[in-house]
Amino acid sequence: MTETTAPENTPQTTIVFLLFPGITQLDFTAPAQALSRMPGAVLAGVAASRAPIATDSGFSIVPTHDFADCPQADILCVPGGHGVAAALGDAATIAFIERQATGAQWVTSVCTGAFLLGRAGLLQGRRATTHWAYAHLLPLVGAEAVDARVVEDGRVVTSGGVTSGLDFALTLIGRLRGPTVAQAIQLAIEYDPAPPFAGGHPNRAPQAVTAGLKARVYDAAAAHMEAALRA
C-alpha cells in the first residue's frame, strides 16, 4: 500500500536489506516500513540462506531471498546490530555487499551496518555516521565520522543508531519521489517524535545515564567491534 497515487510511469525500485544473525530488528523494520510505502518499491530481505534469522529482540525474521537468488538492488541497505562483529569476518557476506553495491543506485546503512559497508571498501574517503558509541571507530574503515542522524556522501547514505533508520528512509524517499510523497508517508506512519525524555543522544542525555550505559554495554561492545575490524 502507498500513501500517494503513483503515476503510471513510476519506476520499480528494488530495495534489498541484508539480514544476518544478531541484527537489531528496528534497524531493518523501521526503514523497511517507510520504504515499503514508497510508490514502485519492491522489498527483499536477504541472508546467506532462507533459514529464519535470529534478531536481538527474541524473535526471528524469515528472509525472502538468499545470496544466490537475490535480485539486483537499486537501493542496498545494511542494518546493524551486535551481530555485525561476526559478520565482518564472513567472506560471503562481504562479497555479497560488494557485488550488490556495484550495480546499486544507492548504498545505505543503519547504525553499525556502516562497518560492513566499510569492510566492503565503500566508505573509503567518505563522510559517514553510525551509532554514537561506535563513531570513533569509523576511521578504521577509512571514513570521516560525522555527528549526524543521516549523512549523504554521493550515492552512499549512512544513518545513526537504530531509530535513525526512519530519518534515512524518509530522506531517500524525498530524493527519489519528492518531498510531498515523503511527507505523506511520514504522516501515514505518524512519525512525529515527542519522546518522554530529551535524552536520545549523549549531547542531551544526563552524563550519569550515558556513563552508566557505556559501562554496562557499549565500552565492551565497541572494544569487540574494534577487535573485529582490526582482525
Q: Would you call 70 a catalytic residue per the annotation?
A: no
Residue 138 and residue 123 in contact, taking contact as beta carbons nearer than 8 Å: yes
Crossing angle of helices 179-188 and 164-177, in 10° steps, is 140
β-strand pairing of 156-159 with 106-110: parallel
Helix H or strand E segment including 113: helix 113-119
The full length of the chain comes to 231
CA distance linking residue 112 with residue 160, whole number of Å: 8
Would you say the C-alpha torsion 79, 83, 86, 92 has a positive or negative sign? Answer: negative
Dihedral, CA atoms, 23, 110, 226, 207, nearest 10 degrees?
-100
Q: Out of 111, 120, 143, 225, which one is annotated catalytic? A: 111
Half-sphere exposure of 121 (CA within 13 A, CB side): 7
Query: Which amino acids are annotated catalytic?
Result: 111
